[in-house]
Amino acid sequence: MTKTYLEEAKLWQAKYRQKDYNPKLIFRDSQSKKDTLFSLSFFLVMMTIEILFNQPFKKKIKLLHNNFYRIIFTTRYEKLERIEVNSFAFSLFLILQKLFEEEERLKSHSQDLIKNSVCHWSYIEKVEKGFLTRYKLINNLWNQNSKLVVSRTYDSRIDLIFLLYKSFELGISNKAIIKKNLSVLIFSVSKAQKDFRYDVLEEIKKSRIL
């Protein structure tokens, strides 16, 4: 099953990379609900990565994919892996929250969107062997926090941002630094949601598959 999912991500990304990931072309090709959700998930991953990429402490969440490193520094490797998975999860949840605000009917497809997103992400990060583990971990986090994600309140968004900040495990006690980091994180999330791919949703609506 894992190989099939990741092979699908590989073929999908190779095909549409040549077309500059044009939503109009992508969703015109979509012939089923499954195809549409798989394509939508790629764009969700891109918006999720944008949140992570804009952090001043992004080096802390860059996992070193090296088997030798894993063997010699097992504890540190596991921490880096945990940080990467958890920070991706909460960034994805913030993007999903925005998606559900715009298209409430997509809430019913949350499980497929999460699975597909982890699949695309695992292939992009070249950690295909860890797909099932990552999916299970993120799905557990979803089960614990789904009520926040589907909520449309400002407080729920702030709660998710705080959970995202905690996931970086920065270990900082200085309140001024924490405040500064949170300000940057809030700005990054706001920017990602402001730059939300409405063009993608528009093409999905035109397809009338979902």
The burial of 168, by beta-carbon neighbours within 10 Å (0-12 exposed, 13-18 middle, 19 or more buried), is given as buried
Range 191-196, long-range pairs (CB < 8 A, 24+ positions): 191/50, 191/54, 192/47, 192/50, 192/51, 192/54, 192/94, 192/95, 193/94, 193/95, 193/98, 195/47, 195/50, 196/47, 196/95, 196/98, 196/99, 196/102
pLDDT reported for residue 2 = 61
According to the model, what pLDDT value does residue 195 have?
94
Instruction: Give me the chain's average pLDDT, please.
Output: 88
| The predicted structure's pLDDT at residue 102 | 96
Which range has the top average pLDDT, 44-53, 69-78, 125-134?
A: 44-53
The model's confidence at residue 65, banded by pLDDT at 50, 70 and 90, is very low
**How confident is the model over 155-181, as a mean pLDDT?**
91
Q: Average of pLDDT values for 178-203?
A: 93
Residue among 195, 73, 61 at smallest CA distance from 125: 61
Residue 89's domain comprises: 2-207
> Looking at the predicted structure, is the pLDDT value of residue 57 above 70?
no
pLDDT of residue 66: 46
Q: What does the alpha-carbon distance between residue 90 and residue 72 come to, in Å, rounded to a whole number?
A: 29
Q: How confident is the model at residue 53 (pLDDT cuts 50, 70, 90)?
A: confident
Q: Any residues with CB less than 8 A from the CB of 19 and at least 6 apart, and which?
A: 25, 26
Any idea which of 74-88, 113-127, 157-171, 195-209 has the lowest mean pLDDT? Answer: 74-88
> Packing angle between helix 110-124 and helix 33-53, nearest 10 degrees?
60
- Phi/psi at 66 (5° precision): -145, 115
Q: What percent of the chain has pLDDT over 70?
A: 89
- Domain count across the chain: 1
Q: Using 50, 70 and 90 to split pLDDT, how confident is the model at 58?
A: low
Which range has the worst mean pLDDT, 7-11, 56-60, 103-107?
Answer: 56-60
What sign does the dihedral 164-169-175-176 (CA atoms) show? Answer: negative
pLDDT of residue 151: 95
Tokens of 52: 């992570």
Whole-structure pTM value: 0.90
* CA distances, 47 to each of 67, 195, 197, 209, 210 (Å): 29, 9, 8, 23, 21
Query: Which token pair is 82?
Result: 């945990």
pLDDT digit string (tens) for 105-145? Answer: 999 999 999 999 999 999 998 877 788 999 999 999 999 99
Find the mean pLDDT for residues 16-29. 95
